[in-house]
Every structure is written in structure tokens, then in C-alpha cells.
Structure 1
Amino acid sequence: MTEKTTFQSDNAFSNDFGVFVYEQTITKSSGSLVEIFQNHGLITQLQDRLGYQFNQINYLINALTHRSFVHEYTHEARTSYERLEFLGDSVLGSYVSYALFEKYSDCSEGKLSKLRSALVNEHSLAKLGRFLGADKCLLLGRGELQSELNDSLICDVVEAILGAITLDDSINRAFEALANIISQYELEMKEDFFSEKKLYLFDPKTTLQELTMKEYKSLPVYESHNVEGGFRVELFVNDEKVEEVTCHSKKIAMKELALKYLNKITK
């Protein structure tokens, strides 16, 4: 028989909901996932932010269930969010593509593709997921509950939630939920989710190359010098030194230089 374990009260967990569900359904074997999801305040808040109430709560449960929880939860068959993530990825891509097509009517196909990549990357979606509160509602195994959540996992869950809404209702309803959460995000965070600025935040080196080729018909030049503890890297644009940084990594330094210069010239 597998020994049941409990969480010590002096441990600090950011996912209190996950700990509560783990203790009720795995440690004590006394709680129902469906009942918890139907009555817990955090789940209500998440659905309110989405502007969508699930007809079949099991879709939402699955969207928030990590494979580590499935392995430890033995009361009934459960699936993780991975298949829903696959579906939601397509939903997200379709919505973002259409929104960019409508907003940036003068952009080329290549630039639209790059901007879409900048918007649907892990960092951008994880910010949206945390705003939604999805990071506080995850069902995780014991080991994962004691580890810091990474952007990749939260990004996957955002996509899984969109997949869950699609199955629970329709793809158009998933589009509406995504539009609703983005609208709230922009209002409260004072940030344009579809901002063209995210393109150079995502890939500043490429953006700078395109800019200098357009303006000066030349590429930016990075010169590296060995110094104690790393490298001093200098950025030259149109044969003029414009920035320099010292860093342990040339690659990181070049990205930082491109970003600093782009921020300076776009203020």
C-alpha cells in the first residue's frame, strides 16, 4: 500500500488551491474534483475573467490538470491538459492571425508571421495566464507543487483552456473568451497585447538588422572584447558606436545591445 503524505503547515506554496485539492483528493481521499471545482472561489474568479461559465466542468478540470497529478490520482480515470493544449494552440493561432491581419493592414506576410510568433511565445502567454489566474488553479503532483512554475507550463494551460471552451461550446465562444481576457489585460495592465513593439522585444537582433538595412543599407556590427568575468561587447550602427555592455555571454550581450538601442530610438 502506498504511504500517504501530507504537506507541512510551515511550508510556503504559491499554489494554495493545488495543495488543497491534493490533500483532499489524494492525501485524504475524501474530496470530489467536480464538487471542488463547482464551489471554489478561485475557479469562479477564473471563469469570471474568461467571461465564460463551463457547461461541463470536467473540461476545465482537464485543462488545469498536469500529468503529475494524473499519475497520483487513482480514484477515477483522469487525463492531463496535453490533448486540449494541442487543440487550443490552433484556436489561439487562428485568433491572433485574424486580429493581426485586421489591425496591421499594411504589414507584409513575413512581418505578420514574426509578430504572431512574438505574441504566442511562452513569455507573452504566461503573462496572460497569470493575469487570468490559471497559475493559481493548477492540479499538480506533490513534487511539482513544491517547484516554481515555469512559463512553458502556464502557456500550455492557457492553450488548454481555449481547447476546453471549444469542446464545451464552440470555437467562436473560445474566440470570445480570449478577446475578453485580452481586453481586461490591456485595460488593467495598460499594455497593448497586439503592440508592434513586442516584435523587437521578442527578436531585437533581427528587428535591428531590418531597420539598419532600410535606413543605412548596412547591417549592425557587434565587436567583442575579452574582459574579466566575461565580454565587453560594442554595437556599431552605420559605422558609429552606439551602445556597449559587459556580460558573461556574447549572445545575451548582443540581444541586450539591440534591445537597448531600439528602445532608445523609439522613445
Structure 2
Amino acid sequence: MIKNILQKIMSPAGSAQEDDSRFRTLEQRIHFRFNNKELLRQAFKHRSYLNVTQENASASNERLEFLGDAVLDLIVTEHLYQNFPQEDEGRLSKKKSVLVSRKALGNIAAELAMGEYLFLDKGEEKTGGRKRLSNLANLFESLLGAIYLDGGYDAAREFVRRFLLSRMKDVLARTSYVNYKSELLELSQARGWGVPEYRTVEEYGPDHRKEFVVAARIRKKNLESRGKGLSKKRAEQMAARNLLRELNAQRNSKEESQ
């Protein structure tokens, strides 16, 4: 009996019947049923588990992760290109970097409880590998790679649409993917206005939740805007954003009067 228990613990997935039962709930959760169950199993084999199975490196999920990363990049790029026709390459790239970030993918994998199905060795298990954000993000990509191989591009795109692109607004809203200070600096130097200046004009609130008010100024334009945040860096970003908006408003007003 002890021998049987040990075999189940050390085995990558047990019998084919046990594998089907183990992953059936996940397949229902992701709305995709695999024809090739071996691909599904491999998508969840962390490299540490090869210490248990004594398989070669190609048996881990890293090759599928490599493929899934490329498939994800294409799907997200295609979606952004089609849905944001007025945005330039720079802003599209910033959006994409947020959508395919470790944080975004890891959070989705956590919501789908992918970590429960991950094959790990004891060392990785003890150090929290099942919940580690990097492992979860890699799982999202390896599973996507497996879906692509098993069901084709349309199936892969539907998976990404359902679990990532459908929440794109929320993902982007939670992340400040625009560096307003960099944009303001680039604009100011291009127009010959020099380098924008920042100064802290106010601090208030308790030490554990202090808020800062920062003023951003372009001296040659004699323009100043303020922003606030829970850190000086955040307040500077908000001040730069507000100053950019003021500059855009001035430009639009000038164009309308012509």
C-alpha cells in the first residue's frame, strides 16, 4: 500500500484515466477539451519535476511556454492593431507590454487555479512554487501553446479573448502603462521649451498614508499644473499628465480659432 502511494506521488500523472479525471475540471473551466492529453500534461510539467521523472529537458513545459509566448504576442498585437486604429506604434507597444506582463498573466492563471495542477518536485513545492507568480505566468503561456498545437490558432485566440482581452480595460486601468513624465519631456525638448521642472508644494495626511502635491512647470511656456498621489513619483506623473492635457487643450483651441 505504501509503495502504491509513493508511486502516485512520484508519478507525473498516473494512468491515462487518472489524468483525464484530474484535468477534466480544468478543461471545463477553460472551455477547451484536449484531443491530445499528453500535450495538456506537458503544459503543467515544471522543470523541477524532471528531477523526479528523470526525463530530459524537453519534457518540461518550457518549450510550450516558448511557443505560447509567440502565439500570445501575435494575438494581442493583432487585437490592438484592429481595435486602436488611431494610436501610434509607441502607445500600442505600451499597451501590449502590460497585457502580456507577468502580473497580468499570473493573475489570470491564479483565478483559474492553474497552480493546483502543476507538477513540481518537493523543493519547489516547499518554497511556494505552486503560487509563485512567475510560475503561474509561465503556465498561462505553456497552456496557450498546448491549445494552439491541439486546436489551432482560432482556439488559441478564443482562449486569449475569453480570459485576457475581455478584461483588457480593467488590466490597463490597474496599471500606469504611460510614462507621462517621459512624454512631457520628449514634447518639451522637441518644441525647444527645455526640461520640465517639478517641485513638491504640499504634503499632508498621517505618516502611513501621506499624500503629496507636486507642481510640473514649463518655464518658457509659463505653464504649470499640479498633481497628487501617495508618493512623490506618482504625484509627479499626475502633474505631468495634467500639464500634457493643458497643452493639448491649448493646441486644440488654437486649431479651432484658425
**Fold match by TM threshold 0.5:** yes
Aligned residues: 223
Aligned to 1:235: 214
Over 3 Å counting, the alpha-carbon distance change for 1:140 and 1:30 in structure 2 is closer
Aligned residue runs from structure 1 range 84-103, under 5 A: 84-103=64-83
Aligned to 1:210: 183
Unpaired stretches in structure 1, ≥5 consecutive residues? 6-20, 187-192, 247-252
Aligned to 1:12: none
Kindly indicate whether the alpha-carbon contact (under 8 Å) linking 2:199 and 2:214 is maintained by their aligned counterparts in 1: yes
**In structure 2, which of residues 97, 100, 108 is the aligned counterpart of residue 128 of structure 1?**
108
Report the secondary structure of 1:140's partner residue: coil
Identity over aligned pairs, percent: 23
- Cα offset for 1:182? 3.5
Structure number with higher relative contact order (C-alpha < 8 Å, ≥ 6 residues apart):
1
Once superposed, what is the RMSD of the aligned Cα atoms? Answer: 4.1
For 1:84 and 1:174, locate their aligned partners in 2 and report how far apart those are by CA, in whole Å.
13
For 2:79 and 2:36, locate their aligned partners in 1 and report how far apart those are by CA, in whole Å.
29
Q: Which has the larger radius of gyration?
A: 2
Over 3 Å counting, the alpha-carbon distance change for 1:100 and 1:33 in structure 2 is farther
Tell me which protein shows more helix as a share of its residues: 2
Match for 2:59: what amino acid? T
For 2:160 and 2:80, locate their aligned partners in 1 and report how far apart those are by CA, in whole Å.
14
For 2:12 and 2:182, locate their aligned partners in 1 and report how far apart those are by CA, in whole Å.
60
- Cα offset for 1:77? 9.3
**In structure 2, which of residues 122, 127, 130 is the aligned counterpart of residue 147 of structure 1?**
127
In the superposition, the TM-score normalised over structure 2's length comes to 0.69
- Cα offset for 1:160? 0.5
In the superposition, the TM-score normalised over structure 1's length comes to 0.67
Q: Cα deviations across residues 168-223 of structure 1 (Å, max 9, x unaligned)?
A: 2312221122223337xx5xxxxxx322872782445x134426876997646366
Over 3 Å counting, the alpha-carbon distance change for 1:34 and 1:152 in structure 2 is same
Unpaired stretches in structure 2, ≥5 consecutive residues? 201-206, 218-223, 246-258
- Cα offset for 1:113? 1.0
Match for 1:38: what amino acid? D
Kindly indicate whether the alpha-carbon contact (under 8 Å) linking 2:43 and 2:143 is maintained by their aligned counterparts in 1: yes
- Cα offset for 1:87? 0.4
For 1:209 and 1:258, locate their aligned partners in 2 and report how far apart those are by CA, in whole Å.
11
